[in-house]
Amino acid sequence: MFVYGPVPSRRLGKSLGVSVIPHKTCSYSCVYCQLGRTIQRRINLRSFYPRESVLKEIEANLDRGNPDYIAFVGDGEPTLSSDLGWYINQCKNRWPVPIAVITNGSLLYSPEVRDNLANADMVLPSLDAANEKVFRKINRPHRDLEYDKIVTGLKLFSRDFSGKIRLETMLVHDLNDSEEHLRELKKIIDEVNPDTVDISIPIRPPAEKWVEPPPLEIIIKAQQILGGTDSMTYGEQGSFGLANFKSVQEAVEQLSSRHPLRLNQALEIERSFGQTGEIENLIQKGALRKEEFQGNIFIIPNKNDIAKTGIDHP
């Protein structure tokens, strides 16, 4: 299944998610990633799936929902798909729905990647670090990626892109949230000159159990330093598109493998199918598991365990 949702998004409202790369294939293995450690770390682009099959799924899901965006987000890094530009152009030619791409921004130094993104309506890249040392610690990139090259790519893309750029910075306590680092980061963000800056913190179980969000006073300080930002420190609200799922198990497994669900969200899905007790039954059977983070209980499919093993192929 390439398409999921629509799902509630803190930045995109109700978005139809499209994944055009295999699970946890990425150029980074971020310590905070809600999908676990990267299975295959790569930077070379390739075509992963039959193009028309992806488009058919998008069309089928658009018929059942009314999303605010078609969002190419992936189970890792969507710009690794050499077909991304083709998908974006086909969607814009066929449907009057804005196109967004959520990316870690690591490959924007590539003219091919910048060209693939050129016709999107909004691109949401990330920048978590202000220097090479912090970059290596928090994003754990592919060995051939260089921090300065990535920042240069962000600047080039921002200069030429005609759509909106919404830059995200994820704060991890004691990694990138010191006042000195934030002030250094502010200078770089000003040079990139995005339309919007979002401050995020980990709100779902991260790849590494030691990861913690900063305390409130540091989040406030970060907002003051980075200036004019939106805060992404809360959970999303809204319901999930379920029309293409045949059962509670299929819906919860598919959605939570890409968008880890709070327990109350999983139970709401269960009620939408007119059932009770199915989530707990799936936990007892070992299909799902509960994981606590920052006082909230999340439902995660056990098949995601492979993403926690640390298997990595540079």
Tens of pLDDT along the chain (314 residues) come to 888 877 777 788 888 999 999 988 999 999 999 888 998 999 999 999 999 999 999 998 887 678 899 999 978 899 999 999 999 999 999 999 999 999 999 999 999 999 999 999 999 999 999 999 999 999 999 999 999 999 999 999 999 999 999 999 999 999 999 999 999 999 999 999 999 999 999 988 899 999 999 998 999 899 999 875 655 555 555 566 666 677 888 777 777 776 677 787 788 888 888 888 888 888 888 888 777 777 778 777 876 443 333 333 33
Residue 283 lies in a domain: yes
Distance CA 281, CA 293 (A): 22
Residue 182 lies in a domain: yes
Residue 251 lies in a domain: yes
Q: For residue 142, give the CATH number of its domain.
A: 3.20.20.70
Residue 244 lies in a domain: yes
Give residue 303's pLDDT.
62
Q: Is the peptide bond before 6 cis (omega within 30 degrees of 0)?
A: yes
The total number of structural domains that make up the chain: 1
Range of the domain at 267: 3-308
Tell me which residue of 206, 207, 189 sits closest to 198, measured CA to CA.
189
Q: Are strands 13-18 and 3-9 parallel, antiparallel or unpaired?
A: antiparallel
Residue 76 carries which side chain, given as an amino acid letter? G
Residue 313 lies in a domain: no
Residue 314 lies in a domain: no
Residue 90 lies in a domain: yes
Give residue 311's pLDDT.
30
Q: What is the pTM of this model?
A: 0.79
Give residue 313's pLDDT.
30
Q: Calculate the CA 236 to chain-centre distance.
A: 13
